Amino acid sequence: MVLDLVDKHQETIQAAIKALHTRTFFAHYPENPSPEIYGENTDKEAREKFKASLNKRFEELQQGEPEGWVGQEESPYEQQPLGITYPYFAPDTLVERADKAFHAWRKVKPDLRAAMLVESLERLRERFFEIAYATMHTTGQAFLMSFQASGPHAADRALEAVATGYEELTRFPESAEWEKPMGKYNIRLQKSWVAVPKGISLVIGCSTFPTWNSVPGLYASLVTGNPVIVKPHPKAVLPMAMVVAEIQKVLVENGHSPDICQLAVDAEDHLITKELAEHRKVKLIDYTGSSRFGEYLEQLPGKITFTEKAGVNSVILDSVEDIDKVVQNLAFSVSLYSGQMCTAPQNFFVPAAGVKAGEQTIPYEEVTRKLAEAITSLVNNPKAAPHVLGAIQNKATVERVKEAQGHVLLSTCDFSNPMFANARTCSPVIYEADVADKESYSRELFGPIMLIIRTKDTAQSIELAQELALEHGAISCGAYTTSPEVKDQIKEAMSLAGTPVSFNLTGGIYLNQHAGFSDFHVTGANPAGNASFTNPEFVIKRFTWVGFREPAI
């Protein structure tokens, strides 16, 4: 059956590998949730399945009889517990099972592993709407973002990891006859090589993007022959539980142990992440979350880590063609999912003399006023706001928005969601920070918080954006300039800070968005993270080439 899967999915894998090299637009999974693409009744059926899963056990996993059933999820839209429980297993049990599965999985040929993993993604395609509702009611993302980010976009990122891993595993021949001329005779050796996986992999998920941030590491470890223990955030388990369930089904159908990919869940009185991470048999760790915990993981001895942590993302405003289009784009970027994105802009550097627009200069005060008006207009749009801002995942985020320091240019407000009267919401707030008070803008303020910093000039804006990225990390940077010279200065400064820059975005593309098969998400070159979705290093660190040689017969 597995050999049939190789034939079935080889074209997809080769198309994905080609996309890796060209870096042009490629999406295997359509992001438009239209009935024509995914089926007439798919949305309705998925919504009903999600409702039917509430207050019940999640029994799709094939991990045997658990020690108990646990669950802590709450809908940010209803502010009520989901009541779904998941099988709990002690860390030692999970590791022991993964260790046994490792020795069979590592011997499976790369093309077979890749084919099974692509098959699991095709199965997940049939559940994109289910995963969307699970994401929506655990993270607070609006439905369309939940569908796209946890469905097709996540699946494309997973396929990207599979394609990268497959290419690296097949880059070199399995064997070769080596012959060296020595004058009167030749030395002939028969050589062979094997890619040896590092061992058990632990994937630690986050509460805001439970699948998009987790599946690259999950699939990168699996395709390179490592068993994986998936440890979601306790408040966002359901989306990844579905992913693990589909992977297990494909494994079992093709004669492999489901313990190759297991779900690990915290009990309320027993948080297991540290216990798993520190286990001597866990060799690989993928993590998305706070810098403090990420730094702890990076310092664990004997582990290879792939981290995405907090960053301070900047926007440099120098000169524009149309200020109104610019502020509309930035307002959307700040408001999208209420700023609960690792790529969301936070620090806006605006020269004291204002922003150039052709032969004119727009005063600093007018620039800040236009930014505030653009956000207010979006928040007050009853048709757009609920679908853009979504809901707030964590109560602490709401408190952070209200407690941010500085001169208030725009205060937050609760906006009503016509479909969810109980939704936890707050709109973006704008504070003005003193350029001399670096402490106020040198840390990530997660959520819909926008800081405007009045700088001496664009040169100081660039200097500060670079300094913040180097010292505190940054995942994205936005820049607006009509000057080729200034553009080159920004490129030079931010490239040395390991931060990608989006220049002069207006219209339907935003600073927050990174595209699979084209954009490298995080560079690994500043404190915001030590890894990148998805460059070759993201997969080759998960295995080692070992060679064997003997005299040729």
Indicate the Cα dihedral angle 511, 515, 519, 521, nearest 10°: 70
SS3 label, residue 312: coil
Lowest mean pLDDT among 73-77, 239-243, 410-414, 497-501: 410-414
Taking CA 240 as the corner, what is the angle to CA 48 and CA 521, rounded to the nearest 5 degrees?
120
Q: Is the pLDDT of residue 441 over 90?
A: yes
Please check whether residue 455 is in contact with residue 349, taking contact to mean a CB–CB distance below 8 angstroms: yes
Contact partners, residue 509, CB within 8 Å, separation at least 6: none
Mean pLDDT of 353-370: 96
Cα distance between residue 186 and residue 179, in whole Å: 6
Q: What is the pLDDT of residues 379-390, one digit of tens each?
A: 999 999 999 999
Task: Supply the pLDDT for residue 415.
Answer: 83
Question: Residue 2: pLDDT band by 50, 70, 90 thresholds?
Answer: low
Interaxial angle between packed helices 2-22 and 152-169, expressed in degrees from 0 to 180 and rounded to the nearest 10? 100
Task: Supply the pLDDT for residue 345.
Answer: 96
Mean pLDDT of 504-528: 94
pLDDT over 70, % of the chain: 99
Question: Residue 553: pLDDT band by 50, 70, 90 thresholds?
Answer: confident
Q: Is the pLDDT of residue 348 over 70?
A: yes
Q: Is the pLDDT of residue 489 over 90?
A: yes
Output the average pLDDT for the chain: 96
Taking alpha carbons only, the member of 151, 78, 76 closest to residue 447 is 76
Mean pLDDT of 522-549: 97
Q: Is the pLDDT of residue 358 over 70?
A: yes
Cα distance between residue 233 and residue 214, in whole Å: 11
Question: Residue 203: pLDDT band by 50, 70, 90 thresholds?
Answer: very high
Mean pLDDT of 220-231: 98
Q: 377: exposed, middle or buried (C-beta count within 10 Å: 0-12, 13-18, 19+)? A: middle
Cα distance between residue 452 and residue 448, in whole Å: 13
- Cβ atoms within 10 A of the Cβ of 391, count? 26
CA dihedral sign of residues 120, 125, 126, 129: positive
Question: Residue 1: pLDDT band by 50, 70, 90 thresholds?
Answer: low
Q: What are phi and psi of 544, to 5 degrees?
A: -130, 135
Order of strands across the sheet with 200-204? 261-263, 228-231, 200-204, 282-288, 304-308
- Cβ atoms within 10 A of the Cβ of 108, count? 17
Q: Is the pLDDT of residue 151 over 70?
A: yes
DSSP calls for 374-400 = HHHHHHT-TTTHHHHH---S-HHHHHH
Q: What is the pLDDT of residues 39-68, one digit of tens each?
A: 999 999 999 999 999 999 999 999 999 999
Q: 541: exposed, middle or buried (C-beta count within 10 Å: 0-12, 13-18, 19+)? A: middle
Cα distance between residue 470 and residue 525, in whole Å: 9
Cα distance between residue 534 and residue 539, in whole Å: 8
Q: Which CATH number applies to 314-503: 3.30.300.30, 3.40.50.720, 3.40.309.10, 3.90.550.10?
A: 3.40.309.10
Cα distance between residue 160 and residue 13, in whole Å: 9
Task: Supply the pLDDT for residue 507.
Answer: 86
Q: What is the pLDDT of residues 93-111, one digit of tens each?
A: 999 999 999 999 999 999 9
Cα distance between residue 397 and residue 235, in whole Å: 14
Question: Residue 508: pLDDT band by 50, 70, 90 thresholds?
Answer: confident
Question: Residue 3: pLDDT band by 50, 70, 90 thresholds?
Answer: low
Please check whether residue 430 is in contact with residue 450, taking contact to mean a CB–CB distance below 8 angstroms: yes
Mean pLDDT of 489-495: 98
Indicate the Cα dihedral angle 31, 32, 33, 36, nearest 10°: -130
The CATH number of the domain covering residues in 2-309+532-551: 3.40.605.10
Taking CA 535 as the corner, what is the angle to CA 140 and CA 233, rounded to the nearest 5 degrees?
30
Q: 179: exposed, middle or buried (C-beta count within 10 Å: 0-12, 13-18, 19+)? A: exposed
Q: What are phi and psi of 194, to 5 degrees?
A: -135, 140
Cα distance between residue 338 and residue 412, in whole Å: 11
**Amino acid (1-letter code) at residue 336:** L
Mean pLDDT of 69-98: 97
Mean pLDDT of 354-377: 96
- Going by the DSSP 8-state scheme, the letter that residue 109 receives in this structure is -
Taking CA 458 as the corner, what is the angle to CA 453 and CA 464, rounded to the nearest 5 degrees?
55
For the whole model, what pTM was predicted?
Answer: 0.96
Is there a shared CATH topology between the 2-309+532-551 domain and the 314-503 domain? no
Furthest-apart CA atoms within the chain: distance in Å: 89
Give the up-direction half-sphere exposure of residue 67: CA atoms within 13 A in the CB hemisphere: 12
Cα distance between residue 451 and residue 455, in whole Å: 12
CA dihedral sign of residues 271, 89, 284, 525: negative
Rg (CA), the chain: 25
**Token pair for 455:** 């700088």
- Burial of 476-495, coded b for 16+ CB within 10 Å and e otherwise, reads bbbbbbeeeebbebbeebbe
Taking alpha carbons only, the member of 319, 314, 324, 325 closest to residue 481 is 319
Mean pLDDT of 415-441: 93
- Going by the DSSP 8-state scheme, the letter that residue 152 receives in this structure is H
Mean pLDDT of 386-408: 89
Provide the residue ranges of all domains of the chain, joining segments of one domain with +: 2-309+532-551, 314-503
For the chain, the residue count is 553
